[in-house]
Amino acid sequence: MHREFIAALLLAFLANIPMLVADEGTSPEPVRVAGIVLKWIKADKAANCNRAEALIREAAAGGARIVCTTECFLDGYAITNRDMPLDEYRALGEQVPGGPYYERLAKLADELDIHLCAGMLEADGDRRFNTAAVISPTGELLGKYRKQELGHELVRNTPGDASPVFDTPHGRIGLMICADRRNADLVGRLQANGAELLICPSGGMFGPKSNDPILQARSQETGLPIVFVHPAEFLVTGPGGVIESRELLGDTLEIAPEQVGTERDSSKVYFFDVAPVERDGNAPGGNP
């Protein structure tokens, strides 16, 4: 009887081992992220949206749960056209939410059941922002990030002043846009706000000489993976600063309308299964 009692206790203990292990907490599961590497057509929102939609659908079909475009994919980063009259430039702004192309993208995210990070020129009253909107799998706006390091864009755009982090089932996502990656303090704020994965839609410098070491340094400093999406590059850096994936696609960022479908018009969906870095549950999160 004594041995039977001990055996029963042992069986009960063994049966509860999985529960004890689970209580200790596990790292977030890897999430498949897709980057939409696509050349811009400057100032043609209809063409850019049509072209991106086909690739976003391909990304969802490939199992991506988070899909990210480049910086200002919708307007084709029109800020670089200094000859464009101001009223024409401002007319390219999209209300977030509420604008027709924003709403089209929101319906697409809902249909495909994905988180969509979409770069666009945002119209907010008289101001224009270089913005990345984060749309949920139900088509709701989780929030938006406004580029803070504007440089030459200051002539027409307003800098953002917040570093929000967005709660998703795949971990807390922090966004930065292009030149923001060069500001270690700015990226550090995203980490301090509870980010577990960083995404950087971009459209400036790219490649192993001028760009990749910057992202590696930010990953090493923050201990976070970073996904970088650019018209000519898809890059993933790991928490230690190692390059997990690097794909280069041509050496141009934009094309003219007549170049659509030519060799110059290279585009592709790139995938990577990223493991967010688990943070303290008490770390601040959400969109302020």
Return d(Cα 104, Cα 139) in angstroms, integer.
10
**Comparing C-alpha atoms, which of 134, 135, 157, 139 is closest to residue 147?**
157
Catalytic annotation present for 71: yes
Q: Which amino acid is at 251?
A: D
Query: Pick from 58, 14, 16: which is nearest to 35 by CA?
Result: 58
CA torsion, ordered 235, 122, 174, 57, to nearest 10 deg:
-50
Cα–Cα distance, 189 to 13 (Å, whole number): 44
243 phi, psi to nearest 5 deg: -85, 115
Is 144 among the residues known to form the active site? no
CB 181 within 8 A of CB 200: yes
Burial class (CB in 10 A: 0-12, 13-18, 19+), 178: buried
Active site residue 200: no
Query: What is the number of helices (H) and of strands (E) in the chain?
Result: 7, 12
Active-site option among 39, 45, 71, 94: 71
Q: Give Cα separations from 242 to 88, 99, 209, 224, 227 (angstroms).
A: 43, 39, 15, 11, 12
Q: Tokens 């002043």 appear where? A: 161
Which residue in the list 147, 196, 200, 233 is annotated as catalytic? 147
Inter-CA distances, 72 with 42, 112, 139, 159, 234, Å: 10, 22, 20, 14, 16
Active-site residue, from 68, 72, 178, 200 = 178
Catalytic residues: 71, 147, 178
